[in-house]
Chain A
Amino acid sequence: MNELKQICKDVLTEKKARLIIGYSEDKNKKVKPYIARTPEDAEKFTFNHNAVNNLAVYIPRFKNHFEGKIGIVVKGCDLKAVTALIQENQVKRENLFIIGVNCSGVVRDTDKDFSKDNSQIKCKYCQMKTPGYFDAIAEETIEFELTDDDQAEMMAKIEKMTAEERLDFWNAEFEKCIKCYACRQVCPMCYCEQCIAEKSTPKWIDTSATPRGNFAWNTIRAFHMAGRCIGCHECERACPMDIPLSLLTRKMGMVASAEFGYRPGMSIDEPTLIGSYSTSDKEDFIK
């Protein structure tokens, strides 16, 4: 952690970045997003198993507000969101100062210690413990063992359902939705200045938290994430109603990967799935 603090202090002292988005710990030991603007501020930075947030969500917000580079502390999984934002032209690589951290997994329940049973689902099949590229990296790390990917079991179970059973399953989940839009706000890829849920001329989807409105919102968000979701699962973590949203986004990602061999956030030079085409693209999904 001292290494991370030192890197951040140096970056701010040498003005390599105007500010750094990282994590700090409050008096209740809750790790939360924090912005340092001076080397003294950087003293508050921390990183541990409780650093769950994907800080890339703040990049679109700050890109227009400040001149100079934005510094950002990223775990391997979060870097995929940064990469995807660069791929989608939301920020330029040269406008970022990326400070990587080696991650040893993050918790699911922040009130309990990190363990095999208390880790985020994404950590269970993580292949990105070290960020793929960076301007600086805090190397210190503790190894952790991957545990069973129990979400894959759930996905297999849902896939075996009939269309009607699946609809019942999702309707029961979506019924809980209160339209707080935490899933949207916490998502680094949900950066639209005007969300489809806010359009009124014409109004595409019901804004009411009714079964009809909830179904429309949650399915349309899942579709907008197809081939774009980088799998940070922040939507599911933020949902106050415990809707298993990452089941949907992960499935869409698997479809994009199986059908087009594309995974978002893997390379800043790769064209996006939606923004490119190939004559060899399969068309058998159009029925």
Chain B
Amino acid sequence: MEELIISTENFKKIVKELQEKEFRVIGIPEGENKYQEITVEKELSLNSEAAPAGSSFKEYFFPKSEPIFFYKQNNGSVDLFDPIEDKKGIVVIGAKPCDASAMPIISKVFNWDYKDDLFNKRYDSSLIIGMSCHYKDDYCFCVSTKGSPENTKGSDVFLTTLENNYFKVATITPKGEAFVKEYGKHFEKDEKKHNPVERKEAIPEHFNYEKVKTWLDNNFENKFWDTAGEMCLGCAQCAFVCPTCHCFDLVDEQCGSCEGRRAKNWDACQFSLFTKHASGHNPRDNQEKRYRQRISHKFKYYMDKFDDILCTGCGRCARGCPVSLDILQVVEEINAFAEKS
């Protein structure tokens, strides 16, 4: 297929057409630090130099709270009702590789023993347009977690930043191909041969994830864990802004005198309640054990089960941590142990 390019202005036209077709367009508006629904096409910003948004866009596929069903008491029996389905397809525009690549990773857990229809319906009818990244700070480590600033994993269409607000367009999946075909009039041939925007500084490989995994395989009881997470306060900032954290809780809640709903809510392994049994026993009874779980789930258990690292190296958890607990520095330390042993 010949190489196509598109300008930011033309992308805004596509956004308008998508909105007219009743798609929910998710992107990051100019000057904002959050993925949100783009309601006015002019707001769309495609800035590859921006820092990762405060949170990932997972909430549009896996909301912070969503009803599974509603119930109503009816003369001694209970009637159940399905939630109203949102039939609008989702198009994410300008996703960072560290966000887009998380989608196939969490899709594995939502399609493991039980197929999560709520997630799948949204994911199957979505289109994710990724964009190469030109950002780097002390927290970025995508290269260490099988990714890169040009990683196309999870994207249906991938944009590479060129000079003069142009993007080179690569179609990654059949879905992406169909999209480029449908909106073909907005794309053009690269006759002027625009140069790609060069990265100022490469993102180094900070650790070897295989070595880290081997160390984790053998060091569940290592005394390193006694202090690694001891300053962790046990909030869920890290898990809730993370593109790959996917744990949830199920709760029944009242909504009216004889009515209620069962909801699926975000949950996090750093909460003490997360593993507390009905008996009162808690197998992870201190923050140190809970922090070990967080690291092990990301760099060992998920690899054991799904052959993927449950981390894309976006660094959000550390950027926002109230006590500046930096996952990269913790894993680097593990890597250093692994290299010594």
Instruction: Give the shortest distance, in Å, between A212 (CB) and chain B (any CB).
Output: 8
A203 to B236, CA, bound (A): 21
Interface pair A32/B271, CB less than 8 Å apart? no
- Inter-chain contact B265/A240, CB cutoff 8 Å: no
Please tell me the number of chain B residues within 8 Å of chain A, measured between CB atoms.
Answer: 33
> With A180-B240, A240-B241 in contact, do A34 and B231 touch (Cβ < 8 Å)?
yes
Q: Are B64 and A178 in contact (CB under 8 A)?
A: yes
Interface residue B263 (Cβ < 8 Å from any Cβ of A): yes
Residues of chain A within 8 A of B202, CB atoms compared: none
The answer to whether residues A207 and B231 also contact, given A32-B323, A178-B64 and a CB cut-off of 8 A, is: no
Indicate if A31 sits at the interface (CB-CB under 8 A).
yes
B265 lies within 8 A of A209 (CB): yes
Q: A180 contacts which of B268, B324, B326, B329 (Cβ < 8 Å)?
A: B268
A179 proximal to B (CB < 8 A): yes
CB distance from A197 to the nearest CB of B (A): 9
Q: Does A35 contact B (CB under 8 A)?
A: yes
One of B65, B263, B287, B324 near A30 (C-beta < 8 A) = B324
A33 to chain B, nearest CB (A): 5
- Whether the pair B322, A182 counts as a contact (CB closer than 8 A) is yes
Q: Which residue of B lies closest to A198 (CB)?
A: B273
- On chain A, which size bracket covers the interface? 35 or more
Is B147 interfacial (CB-CB < 8 Å)? no
Contact A207 B251 (CB under 8 A): yes
CB of A26 closer than 8 Å to a CB of B: yes
Q: Is the CB of B322 within 8 A of A238?
A: yes
The reply to whether the CB of B253 lies closer than 8 angstroms to some CB of chain A is yes
Q: Are A27 and B266 in contact (CB under 8 A)?
A: no
Cα–Cα distance between A206 and B253 once the two chains are bound (Å): 7
What per-residue 1/0 map shows which CB atoms of A160-194 lie under 8 Å from chain B?
00000000000000000011111011100000000
Distance from A166 Cβ to chain B, minimum over Cβ atoms (Å): 24
Tell me which residues across on chain A come within 8 A of B54, comparing CB atoms.
240-241
Main DSSP-derived SS at the A contact region: loop
Q: Are the C-beta atoms of B231 and A182 separated by less than 8 Å? A: no
Of chain A, the residue at the smallest CB distance from B139 is A28
Whether B138 lies near A209 (C-beta < 8 A) is no
**Would A26 and B326 count as touching, CB distance under 8 A?**
yes
B55 within 8 A of partner (CB): yes
Whether A53 pairs with B323 at a CB distance below 8 angstroms is yes
A185 touches B265 (CB 8 A): no
B233 at the interface (CB under 8 A from A): yes
Residue in A180, A198, A208 whose beta carbon sits within 8 Å of that of B253 in the complex: A208
In the complex, B90 has a CB within 8 A of chain A? no
**Does any Cβ of A come within 8 Å of B235's Cβ?**
yes
> Which chain B residues lie closer than 8 Å to A184 at the CB level?
235
A21, closest chain B residue (CB): B231
Minimal Cβ-Cβ distance residue in B for A184:
B235
- Residues of A contacting B138 in the complex (Cβ-Cβ under 8 angstroms): 28
In the complex, A238 Cα to B65 Cα: how many Å? 21
**Interface positions of B (Cβ within 8 A of A):** 54-55, 64-65, 138, 227, 230-231, 233-237, 239-241, 249, 251, 253, 263, 265-266, 268, 271, 273, 287, 320, 322-326, 329
Provide 25 A-B residue pairs closer than 8 Å at the C-beta atoms, listed in order of the A residue: A30-B324, A35-B231, A53-B322, A178-B64, A178-B266, A179-B64, A179-B265, A179-B266, A181-B236, A181-B271, A182-B233, A185-B233, A185-B235, A186-B233, A186-B323, A203-B253, A206-B251, A206-B253, A207-B265, A209-B65, A213-B253, A234-B322, A237-B322, A240-B54, A240-B237
Known: A209-B64, A240-B55. 17 other contacts (CB 8 A): A27-B329, A28-B138, A28-B326, A33-B231, A35-B230, A178-B240, A180-B235, A181-B236, A184-B235, A203-B253, A206-B251, A207-B251, A208-B263, A208-B265, A209-B265, A237-B322, A240-B237
